A and B are shown apart, each in its own frame.
Chain A
């Protein structure tokens, strides 16, 4: 054992020296950031591209994603149908482009909603001792149902797949994880000397939460939110793939793949193109999350 990667001195030494030398400060900061977090930048650029694709979907897609064309069924990739057509003659390229919208909306929606609700539940559990036991038992119970099954149950219950229902179903399955994380962050901060000092000074409970607890929980929750976003995108695709998610009138990468399921051995293009989009998008979010985690807690960067 020659190197001690967690040695704080080493990290301190690696910090940039004050920029006394006349280097254009902004440009060098950007370059340094890219050099230090190359994967985060890769993730960011990839995700940026997907966002642009989603926003400008009507301009990029050369055909109506819902237009049926029975004469042009299951065509291989060609000039006018870049990725080929599906069993109903719909253009797979256009469907994939529009599919980005579903994935991003579901990912972002679930990440925001689950973080917000989970944080409130976690804060309440961490602060009210009598409710803690009950809340955490309920969370344990929810977590003992695998997330995808919970989402399936809720989707069958809500009958009919709209994007809102999908977001709701996946959010409910993700809330317990955020609640646990928030609660443990609260518990670790609650007993610290400066919080006790704030209590002694007569700071109100809300004031303590706002000034001392939230800043300490926000960083891990933000990181967690990116992972929730990635996992929500996968869950949405799985739900749509097995027929419990969005109907094919709303193109999603999952239901495009479902359309190709019966034919994948002879027409792999129907399955593989949406699969590439989905995988790259999830990878982008995960890389961004890893970079964010390293930025929030440099100690973790060296370890995990």
Chain B
């Protein structure tokens, strides 16, 4: 068990290393010379050369990669071309909205999707099931920013139930914070609900045909207990897996939805940085999102042994 955990953690090292190599290569072959940009328009060739030597840009690819990655692992992502601030400072200012958005989204999605999937499997083939599956297909097909505009238009602009745009920090109280996040989080959650509900339904359908479910029903266990204790517990591994895979979609969605709802998070930062061609910031945000994704999936892999004690490595 301990050796499995160790091996699984070690297995993420090549993945992380690949991601870093990939992102660094982008920085390396990006058009435009950072030294020339820093030196400004009036600089002579000699001045540019001096800055290049100063920054260490004249050294070879492996040397620069090693130096850059030790920096990254210590939280040093370089300096923004646009603001001249350390990238890590800019990112630290933007983490809270994005993190809040992701957490609220996940809570909403799981709380809605799992019961829906169980219900659809239980009422298999009936109207409720068809309605839920239709919703799932729609959730797949309508792009997240479209859902965002539709919900913002109806719930916020026309009905005035929720703030249209903007973010209230947690320090100003949990309720205003949650109110500012409900709309974007629910928007992001629709897609997530669709995939989690589909997997929950599919797994539950298979499990509800097992002998032990018939046994449980035969000995008079209540239907709620059969569904949520006997069946759902056994369906949890695929559900947890898809929750982990879906994080990638939440991240992708966050990049767009922060622009729609004017949330000052990492997604907004990367969109602004694209327009400013601020490559160090773009790369740092991509790296951080990828690290988060890898980390969450590592945790999910490790959680299997807790969820299902039959799993032994």
Contact = CB atoms under 8 A, between A and B. Distances in A.
Contact of B14 (A141, A264, A272, A287): A141
Contact of B15 (A144, A234, A238, A272): A144
B255 A149 contact: yes
Looking at A148, A279, A287, the one whose CB has the most chain B CB atoms below 10 A away is A148
Contact of A244 (B217, B248, B274, B297): B274
A264 B149 contact: yes
A138 interface: yes
Given A141-B14, A265-B157, A146 B143 contact: no
A49 to B, nearest CB: 16
Contact of B149 (A140, A145, A268): A268
A238 B23 contact: no
A141 B22 contact: yes
A304 to B, nearest CB: 5
Contact of A141 (B19, B30, B157, B206): B19
* Residue of B18, B30, B202 with highest tally of chain A CB at under 10 A: B18
Interface residues on A, range: 35 or more
A147 B209 CA distance: 37
Interface string B12-36: 0011001100110010011100000
Interface string A273-290: 001001100110011001
B40 interface: no
B262 to A, nearest CB: 10
Contacts of B290: 144-146, 149
A265 B148 CA distance: 12
Contacts of A148: 251-252, 255-256
Given A144-B293, A157-B29, A5 B205 contact: yes
Interface in B212-270: 213-214, 217, 248-249, 251-252, 255-256, 259-260, 270
Interface in A99-144: 137-138, 140-142, 144
Given A1-B208, A244-B274, A283 B141 contact: yes
Tell me the dominant secondary structure on chain A's binding face: helix
B145 A238 contact: yes
B169 to A, nearest CB: 24
A234 B143 contact: yes
B138 interface: yes
A146 B142 contact: no
B218 to A, nearest CB: 10
Contact of B286 (A6, A145, A279, A303): A145
A168 B201 CA distance: 35
Given A146-B290, A304-B202, A238 B256 contact: yes
A156 B137 contact: no
Q: Kindly list the 9 A-B residue pairs having the minimum CB-CB distance in the complex, ordered from nearest.
A: A141-B18, A283-B141, A148-B252, A275-B146, A146-B248, A282-B141, A279-B142, A146-B251, A242-B271
Given A152-B274, A153-B23, A157-B26, 11 more contacts: A144-B294, A146-B248, A146-B249, A147-B248, A157-B29, A234-B143, A242-B255, A243-B271, A243-B275, A282-B141, A283-B137
Interface of B: 14-15, 18-19, 22-23, 26, 29-31, 124-125, 137-138, 140-143, 145-146, 149-150, 153, 157, 164, 198, 201-202, 205-206, 208-209, 213-214, 217, 248-249, 251-252, 255-256, 259-260, 270-271, 274-275, 277, 279, 282-283, 285-286, 289-290, 293-294, 297
21 contacts: A1-B208, A138-B18, A140-B18, A141-B22, A145-B290, A146-B293, A149-B252, A156-B30, A156-B277, A156-B282, A234-B143, A241-B259, A242-B274, A244-B274, A257-B145, A261-B260, A279-B142, A283-B137, A283-B141, A286-B140, A303-B205
